[in-house]
């Protein structure tokens, strides 16, 4: 049985005006994403890896239509995602969610955890009763390892790892099909980050998720990804199975990324 393509991007491009210095006002553009094409199968984890500034986050935000590409096409479940508007846009948007890099900045400090986690329900399922929202909030918090005592508390009362769990709960409460995790552990200690990665693996199975994991760290990507795309200067320079990319990288940039990973002495 052939695999189902859940998300497909074709020749995506995005540029920004060059600001500052001698080039300010020159009309020059810096290309953040330069002709990226790929497809993600339902149920897989695609890792996108590259150094800071290579275009990973810009690509993620285009995939979710948080920003619009200059050109290119995106298809979600075979439907034209960039052409969607109104009810169709809302229907597709609830099926894809994002976990952000900074678990502090991504949570409203003036909202309770209950309000933060159920906000997507208020937007996409406004007819859901208060009691039903509370029940779903408790269920999803427990799924990410937090208890109902968290409901009335505020983000500052939690550790960085716990705040990232709250962000994951918010992303999952609508039961999306696709989750894009943008550097989900880069702001966390190594041990806490490992726990978050283990959580994502478990939740992927539990919720039948398709994941796009974005990271500057090849070891992080290797823990979760079935396939890896290496990004440099807005382009995908190498795409392959995680094993192939990690064990026999073909592109010099991929080889340099791997060479930069510190080895733990035996």
182-214, pLDDT tens digit by residue? 988 887 888 888 899 999 999 999 999 999 999
* Total domains in the fold of the chain: 1
56 within some domain? yes
23 within some domain? yes
Q: Residues 222-265: pLDDT tens digits? A: 888 999 999 999 999 999 999 999 889 999 999 998 887 765 44
Is pLDDT at 1 greater than 60 in this prediction?
A: no
Among 13-17, 26-30, 165-169, name the one with the lowest average pLDDT.
Answer: 26-30
Residue 188: per-residue pLDDT = 84
164 within some domain? no
77 within some domain? yes
1 within some domain? yes
154 within some domain? no
Is pLDDT at 23 greater than 60 in this prediction?
A: no
Among 19-23, 136-140, 217-221, 250-254, name the one with the lowest average pLDDT.
Answer: 19-23
pLDDT band at 72 (very low <50, low <70, confident <90, very high): very high
Residue 15: per-residue pLDDT = 93
Residue 106: per-residue pLDDT = 82
182 within some domain? no
Residue 259: per-residue pLDDT = 85
Distance CA 187, CA 168 (A): 15
Residue 25: per-residue pLDDT = 56
Average pLDDT of span 173-187: 91
Residue 264: per-residue pLDDT = 46
Is pLDDT at 172 greater than 60 in this prediction?
A: yes
**CATH number of the domain residue 87 falls in:** 3.40.50.300
**H or E element, residue 90:** helix 86-93
* Structural domain range at position 48: 1-91+224-257
Instruction: Tally the residues of the chain.
Output: 266
Q: Residues 116-164: pLDDT tens digits? A: 999 999 989 999 899 999 999 999 999 999 999 999 999 999 999 999 9
Distance CA 136, CA 61 (A): 27
Give this prediction's pTM.
Answer: 0.90
74 within some domain? yes
169: nearest Cα among 106, 87, 88, 127: 106
Distance CA 125, CA 129 (A): 9
Average pLDDT for the chain = 89
Residue 265: per-residue pLDDT = 44
Is pLDDT at 63 greater than 90 in this prediction?
A: yes
**H or E element, residue 33:** strand 29-41
């Amino acid at each position: 049985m052939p695999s189902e393509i859940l998300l497909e991007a074709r020749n995506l491009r995005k540029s920004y005006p060059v600001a500052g210095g001698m080039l300010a006002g020159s009309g020059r553009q810096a290309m953040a994403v330069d002709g990226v094409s790929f497809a993600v199968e339902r149920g897989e984890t695609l890792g996108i890896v590259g150094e800071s500034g290579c275009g990973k986050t810009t690509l993620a935000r285009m995939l979710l239509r948080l920003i619009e590409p200059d050109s290119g096409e995106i298809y979600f479940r075979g439907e034209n995602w960039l052409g969607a508007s109104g009810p169709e846009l809302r229907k597709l948007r609830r099926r894809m969610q994002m976990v952000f890099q900074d678990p502090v900045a991504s949570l409203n400090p003036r909202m309770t955890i209950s309000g933060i986690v159920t906000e997507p329900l208020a937007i996409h399922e406004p007819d859901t009763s208060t009691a039903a929202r509370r029940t779903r909030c408790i269920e999803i918090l427990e799924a990410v390892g937090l208890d109902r005592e968290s409901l009335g508390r505020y983000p500052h009362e939690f550790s960085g790892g716990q705040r990232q769990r709250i962000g994951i709960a918010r992303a999952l409460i609508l039961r999306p099909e696709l989750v894009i995790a943008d550097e989900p552990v880069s702001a966390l200690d190594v041990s806490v980050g490992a726990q978050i990665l283990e959580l994502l693996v478990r939740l992927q199975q539990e919720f039948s998720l398709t994941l796009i994991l974005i990271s500057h760290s090849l070891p992080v990507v290797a823990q979760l990804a079935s396939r890896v795309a290496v990004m440099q200067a807005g382009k995908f320079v190498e795409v392959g199975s995680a094993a192939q990319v990690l064990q026999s990288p073909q592109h010099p940039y991929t080889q340099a990324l791997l060479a930069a990973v510190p080895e733990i002495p035996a």
